[in-house]
Amino acid sequence: DYRYFPEPDLPPLVVMQPWIDEIRATLPELPDARRARYEADWGVRRVDADILTSEMQVADFFEQAVAAYGTGVDRPQRVVNWITGELFRLIYAAGDAQDLRQIADLPIRPAQLAALLRLVDEKTINLTIAKKVLEMMAEQGEDPGVIVERQGWALVSDTSVIDAAIQAILDANPDELTRYRGGEAKLFGFFMGQTMRATKGQGDPQMVKQRLQEMLRGE
């Protein structure tokens, strides 16, 4: 067996606890600690916490986005879903060997992602439009509100505009209207689709549904 002998030219090394504590205090938060915090404090699913902490750049982006968006019910998880879904898709589409560290190089900043999610929460835009906005953000680095305003993509919530669109659909489809009022409830989907198409997908879906139900009843 080999034995280890003291080196006579090297003095004994004594590592004091205060030195250890000082070094530990200067270390960044390690992945395991971040993962546990995401789960315990923000309710992030374990599988998602693992993905977020796989690269420091991804975890940093996530935390900055949450700081800008807020930690209310489900908000951190919503940020996760957009990062691991839409932002990762943009990275993969770039063809850079799926290097998730490149999230730091995207023109989209964490605060801009938070602003986009708020537009969805406020029903200024829907999810379909939000994804289009995100793609333009990735190309131009613009704020989502600027893009929505320039493109005219804000949802239509003016009841007079929605009512006019619905009335035009009802007038153009008298046979379907008669059948619906005769009991063919499945035709509601037809009228809903026609109305959303007439508003170019920008009608507030809940408002369109409510007004359509009322107008189909003749109210």
pLDDT truncated to tens, each residue of the chain (219 aa)? 567 777 888 888 889 999 999 998 898 899 999 999 999 999 999 999 999 999 999 999 999 999 999 998 899 999 999 999 999 999 888 776 568 888 998 999 999 999 999 999 998 999 989 999 999 999 989 999 999 999 999 988 888 999 999 999 999 999 999 999 999 999 999 999 999 999 888 888 888 999 999 999 886
Angle at 40 between CA 119 and CA 65, to 5 degrees: 30
Q: Which residue spans of the chain are classified as CATH 1.10.10.410? A: 159-216
**Amino acid 54: pLDDT:** 94
Query: Residue 156's beta-bridge partner residues?
Result: 203
**Amino acid 203: pLDDT:** 86
| Arch. (CATH architecture) of 159-216 | Orthogonal Bundle (1.10)
* Cα–Cα distance measured from residue 84 to residue 99, given in angstroms and rounded to the nearest whole number: 13
Angle at 181 between CA 213 and CA 208, to 5 degrees: 20
**Amino acid 11: pLDDT:** 86
**Amino acid 63: pLDDT:** 97
Query: Residue 203's beta-bridge partner residues?
Result: 156
In single-letter form, the type of residue at position 190 comes to: F
**Amino acid 111: pLDDT:** 97
DSSP state of 87: I
Distance between first and last Cα of the chain: 96
**Amino acid 96: pLDDT:** 60
Check residue 2 and give left, alpha or beta (phi > 0: left; psi -120 to 50: alpha): beta
Backbone phi, psi, residue 85, to 5°: -95, -75
Q: Are 162 and 205 in contact (CB under 8 A)?
A: no
In single-letter form, the type of residue at position 20 comes to: I
